[in-house]
Amino acid sequence: MWLTGRLAPDHKTIADFRKDNGSAIKKVCARFVELCREMGLLAKASVAIDGSKFKAVNSRDNNFTQGKIQRRRKQIEESVARYMSQLDTADRQTAAGEEPSETVLLTKTRLKEKLAKLEEEVKRLAAIEKAVLASPDKQISLTDPDCRSMATSGRGSGMVAYNVQSAVDTTNHLIVAHEVTNIGTDRSQLATMAQAAKAALRSDSLDVVADRGYFKGEEILACEQAGVAVTLPKPQTSGAKSAGRFGKPDFVYLAKDDVYRCPAGEKLAHHFTADEDGQKMRIYLTKACRTCPLKDRCTTANERRIKRWEHEHVAEAAQARLDQNPQAMRVRRETVEHPFATLKMRMGATHFLMKTLPKVATEMALHVLAYNLTRVMNIFGIKPFLAAIRA
Ligand code: SF4
């Protein structure tokens, strides 16, 4: 209350202020980060980037995908079959030539009403399916049209939400940059967030640590080209490894000779380059496979082929930084969990209050501003902080 001079505006005034001043609120949030930088709180150009799902004003029942529509249709078909069978049973209660009893009539009326409701639901689903097929990502949300159904870290769990990206300073845990997105995965967010953080810190270089969910060659390359050194682990997904054969990590790249050394000690040389989803992939192989005693543990084809992206050294450098500094992932976790846990605790076990992406972005900017403000007050103390603002 001290900040507003003991003014106590009612909820409508606050809601209107938030609605009418979205862009100004975002600017204040960014300006406060500048102030933190000027106060020397962001001296080390080092951030952890992470995303977290925040619930939207949209229940799961009001979000539709093609899969969900198919499941709902199957449920309706089962219900219709059950009600039809119950109608037959009710008919059998009355002997031929007899008038049906009042109970039977009531049961039949109730069942017919239920069938009529299901017919309505089938029509509603047909209209929703049309909208789902017309939407670019084959998904619609009825209450807040911008939010999306997203997987969360729990197995098989998900929520209708926004994915909030943040770049958090590793020293003082201040949120340097943030972005509200309705994209369910983090894979294409790294370069955008890193560049936003670098601009906010006005630094020529930046160290970024992130988790394996951000691993995407093009994103790491874009960071490298923008002067951002990324530390993140390479995902260990290998079809050969899960089938019990040697995986790519079992092959050592020898940069000097541009060859891979395989588990049998043979050298796989570059033979040709292929285009794969717009990426140039160099293919390495050796003729020694045909007579190799380890072949059963290596490949089911005539020879083992190893693919190498033309910029793979950039992705390898990200993993190498982690190998040299194994503490980086602990620092990452401690850095990003602090603001996200605080934001969620302050928001309570609830969803955003506003609907649609631009308004939700304003709401999040207010939360981020409040988090950064209280964080600086905790670090500095209120009086020195006010003095720094006036200076
Ligand atoms: S099969 Fe070929 S690549 Fe695999 S271990 Fe043997 S020689 Fe090396």
Buried residues in 23-60 as b, exposed as e (16+ CB within 10 A): eebbeebbebbeebbebebbeebbbbbbbbbbbbbbee
Q: What are phi and psi of 183, to 5 degrees?
A: -100, 130
Range list of H helices, 39-65: none
Which atom of ligand 1 lies at the shortest distance from residue 293's CA? 6
What is the model's pLDDT at position 265?
94
What is the model's pLDDT at position 2?
63
Please state, rounded to an integer, the average pLDDT across all residues of the chain. Answer: 92
pLDDT band at 99 (very low <50, low <70, confident <90, very high): confident
Q: What are phi and psi of 206, to 5 degrees?
A: -155, 140
| Pocket residue to mutate for ligand 1, from 251, 292, 300, 305, most atoms within 8 A of Cβ | 292
State yes or no: pLDDT of 383 exceeds 90.
no
R_g of the chain computed on alpha carbons: 29
Give residue limits of the domains in the chain. 22-59+147-234+318-390, 61-141, 239-313
Q: Which residues are within 8 A (CB) of 296 and not within 5 positions of it... i.e. 6 or more apart?
A: none
Which atom of ligand 1 lies at the shortest distance from residue 262's CA? 8
What's the topology of domain 22-59+147-234+318-390?
Nucleotidyltransferase; domain 5 (3.30.420)
Pairwise CA distance, residues 5 & 373, whole Å: 17
Q: What is the pLDDT of residues 199-222, one digit of tens each?
A: 999 999 999 999 999 999 999 999
Q: What are phi and psi of 98, to 5 degrees?
A: -90, 155
Q: What is the pLDDT of residues 54-83, one digit of tens each?
A: 999 999 999 999 999 999 999 999 999 999
**Tokens 């995407």 belong to residue:** 216
Angle at 75 between CA 86 and CA 140, to 5 degrees: 145
Q: For residue 322, is it left (φ>0), alpha (ψ between -120 and 50) or beta?
A: alpha
What is the model's pLDDT at position 152?
79
Question: Which residues form ligand 1's pocket by a CB distance below 6 Å?
Answer: 262-264, 266, 286, 288-289, 292, 294-295, 298-299, 304
pLDDT band at 97 (very low <50, low <70, confident <90, very high): confident
Q: What is the pLDDT of residues 150-189, one digit of tens each?
A: 987 766 678 999 999 999 999 999 999 999 999 999 999 9
Residue 158: what residue type?
Answer: G
Instruction: Tell me what the mean pLDDT of segment 96-100 comes to.
Output: 80
- Pairing, β 228-231 against β 206-209: parallel
Residue located nearest, by CA, to atom 7 of ligand 1: 289
Q: What is the pLDDT of residues 44-58, one digit of tens each?
A: 899 999 999 999 999
Beta bridge partners of 139: 65
| Pocket residue to mutate for ligand 1, from 260, 261, 302, 304, most atoms within 8 A of Cβ | 304
What is the model's pLDDT at position 15?
86
Tell me, in angstroms, the distance from the centre of ligand 1 to residue 301's CA.
Answer: 11
**Tokens 């009531």 belong to residue:** 106
Eight-state DSSP code of residue 265: S
Instruction: Tell me what the mean pLDDT of segment 312-320 comes to.
Output: 93
Q: Contact 358/144 with Cβ under 8 angstroms? A: no
Of the CA atoms within 13 Å of residue 132, those in its CB half-sphere come to 19
Residue located nearest, by CA, to atom 5 of ligand 1: 264
Tell me, in angstroms, the distance from the centre of ligand 1 to residue 264's CA.
Answer: 6
